[in-house]
Amino acid sequence: MLINKTLTPNLLLSALVAILAFALTDRVAAQLFTNLHNFTGADGAYPQAGLVLSEGYLYGTTFSGVTSGNGTVFKIKTDGTGLALLHSFSATPSSGPPFNSDGANPQAGLVLAGDTLYGTTRNGGTFGNGAVFKVKTDGTGYTNMHSFTLMFAATNSDGAHPYGGLVLSGDSLYGTTYHGGRSGRGIVFSISTNGTGFTNLHSLTGTDGSNPASTLASSGSVLFGTTAFGGGAGNGTVFAVNADGSGFTNLHVFSAVFGSSFTNTDGTTLYTGLTLSGNVLYGTAYAGGFFGRGTVFGVGTDGSNFTNLHNFAQNEGAYPSGELVMNGGALYGTTYQGGSFGDGTVFALNTDGSAFTTLHNLQSSTDGGFPLAGLALSGSALYGTAQGGSFGVGTIFCLFVLPRLEITRSEANIVLRWPANATAFALESTTNLVPPVVWNAVAQEPIVVEGENVTTESISGEQSFFRLRH
């Protein structure tokens, strides 16, 4: 990236505009994909949930595997070493309802508070309809906090089969169930972190949504979520509800599809939760949109300004399957299928829908494929889970994305900016690219402004090249 400090202001500004036009491409064009771990079955199988990152460890769940076949809670270092099973879910009967004491088949990820992980299981528990649990990060203290009760004609008082995870607010955990409740279409619930006070906050009726499958987002005393089905067209909703169960509101009801192409203007079938930034909720719809392969959308927390930000075409990925993660003005996510090998992708786009980029095309037999969950972000590293891999039962991966170096002009200076959380990178400069090239650290320490490192250099003097070096 060349900045000639002796250029006239107009020429320099033109050069900078050209550079900035390709800023996102520069940021995401180079990545390093690493398969951190291939599950064998003995240590878990088929991870369907995202990861939680804390102090150099990734925490997650597998849906099945180990001797019982009912899944695990695990931790692993961010370099892929030291996998440890914190809990292996116990066996259930080979026929009949899957009853056990601790739960079975965790489908969702975990929430971490202090040294305690909280989660849900889709099946198992005292009545076979799933459980809410907690376990220490060292694997001790596993507790089944709540077993969802039996259903009669598909209904019960407390819901059944939580597909989504939990969100923590204060001393309360909030979640959803896919089935059960007073209408048999799932519920929104709360429970204290000590396992007391389980409350059915809202039973979905179908007209206001049906079958919530995702983790809630929380802001103050308001919870935000999605439903896979229901609403006027039966294609899902975005909703808000107060933490005490009052004020349930549909913020957006997804529209009907057209014929066998399953296309529409906004998307259908929401299996994933929402990412909140300011007063905007960002999410994905698994199907629908202009090509029938899903969408990325944004909507105000008051239900205003719904925007279809992106419609997936087959070569970009298809059927987005996990929550989005945000870094600066960019959103990152995964698709379950599509891409170069048909096995799914990792993608990025700006929050205004611009600059969509496929960061990585997954290939199931080598690096894993068909990801069902979103990503965890740390600095410039994206961590995720997928199916496939060396043993065909799942992987943990890391995708390292280069941060963007932005250059703008301010009077007689140039201003350089890059993400403050890109702590592994240092700004360097050189005056000549003819070998042997000598890069030197930029002496001036950056200041942090709104999540970005910012430093200023004078335009006068020699031409300079700048780079971020890992």
- The letter for the amino acid at 341 is F
Angle at 48 between CA 43 and CA 50, to 5 degrees: 95
Q: Which tens digit of pLDDT belongs to each residue from 264-279?
A: 999 999 999 999 999 9
Terminal C-alpha separation, the chain: 17
Burial class (CB in 10 A: 0-12, 13-18, 19+), 15: middle
Where do we find the tokens 């771990």?
Answer: 37
CB half-sphere exposure, 52, CA atoms < 13 A: 23
pLDDT at 26 over 90: no
Task: Check residue 160 and give its pLDDT.
Answer: 98
Task: Check residue 94 and give its pLDDT.
Answer: 85
Cα–Cα dist 157/126, whole Å: 15
Cα–Cα dist 131/129, whole Å: 7
**What does each C-alpha distance from 37 to 43, 80, 178, 365, 396 come to in angstroms?**
11, 6, 30, 13, 5
Cα–Cα dist 395/39, whole Å: 6
Name the E strands within 197-321: 199-203, 217-219, 222-227, 237-242, 249-253, 275-277, 280-285, 295-300, 307-311, 318-320
Encoded tokens for 257: 């599809």
Confidence of residue 81 (pLDDT cuts 50, 70, 90): very high
User: Prior bond to 97 cis, omega within 30?
Assistant: no
- Cβ-contact 118, 133 below 8 angstroms: yes
For CATH 2.120.10.30, the residue range(s) in the chain are 32-401
**What does each C-alpha distance from 66 to 48, 382, 450 come to in angstroms?**
15, 27, 46
pTM listed for this prediction = 0.85
Count of Cβ atoms closer than 10 Å to residue 170 Cβ: 10
Q: Please enumerate in sequence order all residues whose Cβ is within 8 A of that of 219, keeping only pairs 6 or more positions apart, or say none.
A: 276, 301
Task: Check residue 425 and give its pLDDT.
Answer: 81
Q: Which of 23-27, 50-54, 352-356, 390-394 has the lowest mean pLDDT?
A: 23-27
Per-residue DSSP letter, 185? B
pLDDT at 376 over 90: yes
Task: Check residue 261 and give its pLDDT.
Answer: 81
- CATH number of the domain at 32-401, please? 2.120.10.30
Q: Which tens digit of pLDDT belongs to each residue from 132-155?
A: 999 999 999 999 999 999 999 999
Burial class (CB in 10 A: 0-12, 13-18, 19+), 217: buried
Share of the chain above pLDDT 70, in %: 93
Task: Check residue 31 and give its pLDDT.
Answer: 62
